[in-house]
Amino acid sequence: MTQNTSPRPVADGPGMAPAPPQPVSISDPQAIRALAHEARLTVLEELFASQATRTATELATRCALTPSAMSYHLRALEKYGYVVRAASEGDGRERRWKAAGSSLVLGSLTDSTSAKNAYLNVQLNAFRDRLSAEIARRDKERKDGKEPPADRAPVLTTGVVFLSEPQRKEFITRVYDLLYEYEELAEPEARGVDGERLYYMLSFLPEIRETKGL
């Protein structure tokens, strides 16, 4: 499971910009369980996707929490290596935070299955809430007599494609390449607290066939 952001191809030679942050790999079950909280998940999405700094107050507004409650969650995420303290900006009266790397990768230790399931449930519940909110918004538009645009994306699309293993690898690579392309298009100001967001959830699941006994 990965919290994705596009890599930033920046050189790291003398007099050049610093090397881009590396992925953060988490395999400790206790650290994974620390993610099983909606506010913390929102914080990680915000920091890893934007690759920008945020204050506790800015993040609190996105989670309907007080700044002090958000500071508690940020310190917990810092403890497990998900976020780090950033350099002060402006008058420096409030601490700023940033993602600890370019992306977040959850390890595959067998003894962390329950922890990863807890994190997965939070992810799915958060996305379910977003789906429900979008359905309600579209229903209200129709009741108000507003016709949806013909090119409006569906709320959710599921399906099956029949692919060989080489085709499957190419398909997944091309989907992620498209995401990375558009992530790179976002200007720094578009990644601000008030920037427009489009949430997505991707899952590629190959069929698992059980071998039946003779």
DSSP assignment of 100-131: SSS-EEE---GGGHHHHHHHHHHHHHHHHHHH
**Tens digits of residue pLDDT in 152-179:** 888 899 999 999 999 999 999 999 999 9
Has residue 8 been placed in a domain? Answer: yes
Has residue 206 been placed in a domain? Answer: no
Has residue 68 been placed in a domain? Answer: yes
Has residue 137 been placed in a domain? Answer: yes
Has residue 200 been placed in a domain? Answer: no
Which letter does DSSP use for residue 160 in this model? -
Instruction: Look at the block and give the residue holding tokens 């409030």.
Output: 94
Q: Residue 76 belongs to a domain with what CATH number?
A: 1.10.10.10
Has residue 90 been placed in a domain? Answer: yes
Domain holding 61, by residue range, is 2-191
Domain count, the chain: 1
The residue ranking higher by pLDDT, 98 or 192, is 98
The secondary structure element, H or E, covering residue 83 is: strand 83-86
Q: In the numeric block, which tokens belong to residue 74?
A: 């940020």
**pTM for the model:** 0.71
Has residue 53 been placed in a domain? Answer: yes
Model confidence at 149, pLDDT cuts 50, 70, 90, reads confident
Has residue 166 been placed in a domain? Answer: yes
